[in-house]
Amino acid sequence: MRTIRAKIVALAAAAALAVAGVLTVSFWIVLSSSSESQLGSLEALLLEDFDRLIKTQVESAATMLGAIAKERDAGRLSAERARDLARNLLRDMRFGADGYFWADTPQGLNEVLLGNASEGTNRLALKDANGFELVRAIIDIAMKGGGYTEYWFPRAGQTEALPKRGYSQFVPGFNWVIGTGNYFDAIDAIVAEKRVEAEQLRMRSLGIIIPMAMIMAAIAVAMAILMGNRIAKPITYAAERMRMLSQGDLTGQLEAKFVERKDESGVLVSSLKTTLERLREVLAEVSDAGRQVANGSEELSESSK
């Protein structure tokens, strides 16, 4: 038979474990959501910086080419010398780990591309790994005032096509569309690194929150045991006295510490005390009545002799 104390402790333990579990899961969900939100913000910020960087680089290159064109138009450089100077400077310009520049005419004739075999050929129909005509798209957006184009293209000296985002604009002084770009895998690598760090932080946090939740649950169970004892003791005491009463034992006094309690258990023991006292009074009255009957019988017997 499960005692009241055991039921109280079991209920409190179940409630404490449930609360600890809910708190742990809630903490994990909130932390994961916060991490994903921060990673999303980081990725958006990196993409924004990514776009700003390549646009600024192209604008700087366009300014340089514009200055050369002015020198040519002023007669200080020949057309051929200006064109060669512009091509050489643009070809040698670099930024970041693998940033370089290219230039094509609006008709697709390649003027600058790392000095490789593409220079001097028409690239208008060039397609990336997905069949996208990237040069045509790059030229079209540049002729509309400049903008971004996404495509797949190998890194310099490599053959594997990777996702890339470029910016291009038209330079009227040379009738060139110039551009540059960056590879998305650089951003993906940073985000992946931050994701690993966030996961490690979540695991460390979970390693702290779970023991804390268990400690809180243990404290709750300990308090439940104390409260269970406090509640169950007077009830157990009253049940034992009722058992004794059922066996006809009306002796002994109820302990004052249980009788004087101000809760329901105290009322129970106090009522039992009242019942015992009343039963004792009834038994005393019955005993007196029995003695009186016995005395009367003796007197009647004496008078009849």
- Whether 205 is covered by a domain: the verdict is no
Does 285 have pLDDT greater than 60?
yes
> Which domain-ending residue is among 174, 190, 206?
190
- Shared domain for 272 and 129, answered yes or no, is no
Region label for 45, one of left (φ > 0), alpha (ψ between -120 and 50) or beta (otherwise): alpha
Confidence of residue 252 (pLDDT cuts 50, 70, 90): low
Residue 151's H or E segment, with its range, is: strand 147-154
Spatial separation of the C-alpha atoms in residues 133 and 123, rounded to whole Å = 9
H-assigned helices in 103-261: 134-143, 184-246, 256-259
Question: Model-level pTM?
Answer: 0.61
Is the separation of the CB atoms in 156 and 100 below 8 Å? yes
3-state secondary structure of 150: strand
Task: Output the domain CATH number for residue 145.
Answer: 3.30.450.20
Q: How many domains does the chain have?
A: 2
- Shared domain for 77 and 153, answered yes or no, is yes
Does 1 have pLDDT greater than 60?
no
Looking at every residue in the chain, the average pLDDT score rounds to 83
Confidence of residue 83 (pLDDT cuts 50, 70, 90): very high
Residue 155's H or E segment, with its range, is: none
- Shared domain for 262 and 181, answered yes or no, is no
- Whether 92 is covered by a domain: the verdict is yes
Spatial separation of the C-alpha atoms in residues 63 and 175, rounded to whole Å = 14
- Shared domain for 184 and 259, answered yes or no, is no
> Which domain-ending residue is among 190, 213, 241?
190
Confidence of residue 181 (pLDDT cuts 50, 70, 90): very high
- Which of 151-160, 166-175, 209-218 is predicted with the least confidence, judged by mean pLDDT? 209-218
The C-alpha angle with vertex 232 and arms to 226 and 237, in degrees rounded to 5, equals 130
- Shared domain for 65 and 160, answered yes or no, is yes
Amino acid at 54: I
pLDDT tens sequence across 196-208: 888 888 788 878 8
Print the domain residue range for 158. Answer: 32-190
- Whether 15 is covered by a domain: the verdict is no
